[in-house]
Amino acid sequence: MIQPALYLLPTTIGESDIDRAIPRANRDVMAQIKHFIVENVRTARRYLKRVDKDIDIDTLTFSELNKHTAPEDIAAYLAPLRRGEAVGVISEAGCPAIADPGADVVAIAQREGMRVIPLVGPSSIVMSLMASGFNGQSFAFNGYLPVERNERARAIRRCERKVYDEDQTQIFIETPYRNNRIVDDLIALCRPSTRLCIAADITGEGEYIKTKTLRQWKAERRELDKVPCIFLIYK
């Protein structure tokens, strides 16, 4: 029997095999949880079925947590845990509460002194950093860059400054249809000797993780449309 706690349950990234992404022990934990807080009920149900095809989905309760959820509703999602039952948080891809709304429910649980237990799973931030060859002793994840042209240029310049002034690897993500634009922007705004690592489709069939200088990327462009990507820069 698992103890009552808020369990943070990573999912696969993209369509990779469960056994490539998730330790076995996660299944045993998930099989004992009846209450789930999820970003999207349909994909969460499908994920649970993929992990354990014998799971009885109809005995489970799902609460949807996304950017439209009101704070008072989020607090109510923890009611089962207040009466001693385990609750699980599942995100759309990878680790919950990193780049998704899950952090709000974790903050409430921590405030109320509830036990929070994170499980192991794939993080595109960590995996791309491992494979980049960049400084892993100091790095920052910046989420999405601003879309507006001037703000975006300022953000890119600030990131590059931190690479040189603070010796800190800078990581950011972009919506897939802007992947090519971000590479253009980096080539236009940063030093040609600054290195860029492009990590695409991590753990997927088409996984591609390459580090080159911006000078090299300019000469050897790669089409990135519609692939989930993560970008890292370093000197």
Applying CB under 8 A, does 109 fall inside the site for a copy of itself?
yes
Stretch that binds a copy of itself, among 36-44, 67-75, 125-133, 174-182 (CB under 8 A): 125-133
Applying CB under 8 A, does 14 fall inside the site for a copy of itself?
no
Amino acid identity, residue 192? P
Q: What is the CA radius of gyration of the chain?
A: 20
Q: Is the Cβ of residue 62 or residue 234 nearer to a copy of itself in the bound state?
A: 234
Cα–Cα distance, 202 to 227 (Å, whole number): 10
Applying CB under 8 A, does 125 fall inside the site for a copy of itself?
yes
Cα–Cα distance, 156 to 167 (Å, whole number): 16
Q: How far is the CB of 195 from a copy of itself (least distance, A)?
A: 9
Can you tell me which of 15, 17, 73, 225 binds a copy of itself, judged by CB under 8 A? Answer: 17
Cα–Cα distance, 165 to 163 (Å, whole number): 6
Q: How far is the CB of 96 from a copy of itself (least distance, A)?
A: 6
Applying CB under 8 A, does 231 fall inside the site for a copy of itself?
no
Q: How far is the CB of 49 from a copy of itself (least distance, A)?
A: 19
Cα–Cα distance, 158 to 90 (Å, whole number): 33
DSSP state of 58: G
Cα–Cα distance, 75 to 72 (Å, whole number): 5
Ranges within 127-156 binding a copy of itself (CB under 8 A): 127-143
CA dihedral sign of residues 58, 107, 144, 179: negative
Q: Backbone phi, then psi, for 129, in 5-degree steps?
A: -65, -45
Q: Which residues bind a copy of itself (CB under 8 A)?
A: 8, 17, 19-25, 95-100, 102-104, 106-111, 116-118, 120-123, 125-143, 168, 197, 202-203, 207, 209-212
